[in-house]
Structure 1
């Protein structure tokens, strides 16, 4: 007999029913998670992962070459003499042929280095813009414009055709006083010249058949000039010549060439 106010203790059958209820609830909660893992895009094993290893320093006892510290003052400006000051750093007003002619006068008879030119190219440049001269025979190409230094002003990019598919690529910027500073000058056998962001990329044939060398020139704030910051040897698919492909010329487009961005 059960006394007044007492609570009957559950029997064995009642406890078994509670265990079955809890097991059913747990199964119901786990089923959606299991089905989610089977769905496309769900969690899946990626297989074995290779062990990461850092670079190994070979011959650590060898005394390596020493890199001289960079000049904190940077490279001295290479101002172009004989050019009127540029207002508001607007290089669009500069005639590229007149600019190159001024450099020829500043470096007469130069045959090597950044100012070196073949005699026939010098003669052709001196005729650029002359009365009766054929504009198509002027080796100074149509200029391109791009802010390469990050100062918010366009730089002037000039190409000069040399014999044997060589060309000189030069970049000029104007300082706050209106002086033109040449910040890049290189000559090579060029497949093509490209602009990517604030970089100038030269594609040239490699010494190995089927390969070309891509050199990326970037503005260096410390040296205040464009430097070859990255060089890459690239295999040319389907090439048939000694490391060269038919040249392609970038066409002027708003924001990259022929007009400011």
Structure 2
């Protein structure tokens, strides 16, 4: 898959209010404040290669801003829970068969086939509009999986996320989708958090990490290239 944005992170040091009040009031028998030694000099970020020319185009990222209106699927009362997820996925695959060559035949046989690759849907308000959105997983060859998210708004059923990876686990954390995927490096995994962006009206990979898992096992099917 295409490479996502850089990994984001921020450490926050929380100081209890009681500790601050105690320091200001001089708590304890000694009274006053004690020196903790010299304060280290603050070092700001240093710009490297200042003569490097600016980029002429943005780097590709994987799945970001890829949305599509799904046509031919009725959503009674605007409630996605009343629509079979298989119906939605079949409509999406039929509209873009070149994008889903590896699963098109299997999805076409759903739901009659016992090997239907469309897994049961999960419902959560991911966009913050108070209505349930739909998260679907579709198994693909070589232990890959498509993760797709759909929302219904303004009379339109829209796909707002379409990511393919060597998925290990998927978690819902509030309105965030956290995807754990096999990494090419033995003993590591990718962990990507997808969040809805109201400006782009799509799920964006807002946090992308590679983490040590402690296992030395190399996955049988490495994740797609994140070039």
Give the TM interval when normalised to the shorter protein. 0.7 to 0.9
Contact 1:210 1:241 in 2 (8 A): yes
Per chain length, whose mean CA-contact separation is higher, i.e. which structure has more relative contact order (CA < 8 Å, sep 6+)? Answer: 2
Q: After the TM superposition, which residues 135-174 of structure 1 pair with which residues of structure 2 at under 5 Å, given as runs?
A: 137-174=115-152
Q: TM-score, normalised by structure 1?
A: 0.64
Alpha carbons of structure 1 residues 76 and 63: separation in structure 2 relative to 1, 3 Å:
closer
1:230 aligns with 2:207: yes
- Where do 5+ consecutive residues of structure 2 fail to align? 1-24, 59-64, 221-227
- Where do 5+ consecutive residues of structure 1 fail to align? 1-32, 69-74, 245-261
Matches of 1:63 and 1:145, distance apart in 2: 46
Shift of residue 202 of structure 1? 1.4
Shift of residue 157 of structure 1? 0.2
Contact 2:26 2:33 in 1 (8 A): no
Shift of residue 190 of structure 1? 0.9
Matches of 2:161 and 2:72, distance apart in 1: 19
Structure with the bigger percentage of helix: 1
Alpha carbons of structure 1 residues 243 and 36: separation in structure 2 relative to 1, 3 Å:
farther
Contact 2:148 2:162 in 1 (8 A): yes
Q: TM-score, normalised by structure 2?
A: 0.73
Aligned length: 190
Alpha carbons of structure 1 residues 159 and 34: separation in structure 2 relative to 1, 3 Å:
closer
Matches of 1:66 and 1:161, distance apart in 2: 37
RMSD over aligned Cα atoms: 2.7
Q: After the TM superposition, which residues 111-150 of structure 1 pair with which residues of structure 2 at under 5 Å, given as runs?
A: 115-118=99-102, 121-130=103-112, 133-134=113-114, 137-150=115-128
Structure (1 or 2) with the larger CA radius of gyration = 1
Alpha carbons of structure 1 residues 204 and 35: separation in structure 2 relative to 1, 3 Å:
closer
Contact 2:66 2:202 in 1 (8 A): no
Q: After the TM superposition, which residues 1-261 of structure 1 pair with which residues of structure 2 at under 5 Å, given as runs?
A: 36-37=28-29, 46=36, 49-66=39-56, 78-87=68-77, 89-108=78-97, 110=98, 115-118=99-102, 121-130=103-112, 133-134=113-114, 137-177=115-155, 179-237=156-214, 239-242=215-218
What are the Cα deviations for residues 84-124 of structure 1, in whole angstroms up to 9, with x where unaligned?
Answer: 1441x32111101111111232223x2xxxx3241xx3333
Alpha carbons of structure 1 residues 59 and 144: separation in structure 2 relative to 1, 3 Å:
same
Alpha carbons of structure 1 residues 214 and 35: separation in structure 2 relative to 1, 3 Å:
closer
Structure with the bigger percentage of strand: 2
Alpha carbons of structure 1 residues 65 and 37: separation in structure 2 relative to 1, 3 Å:
farther
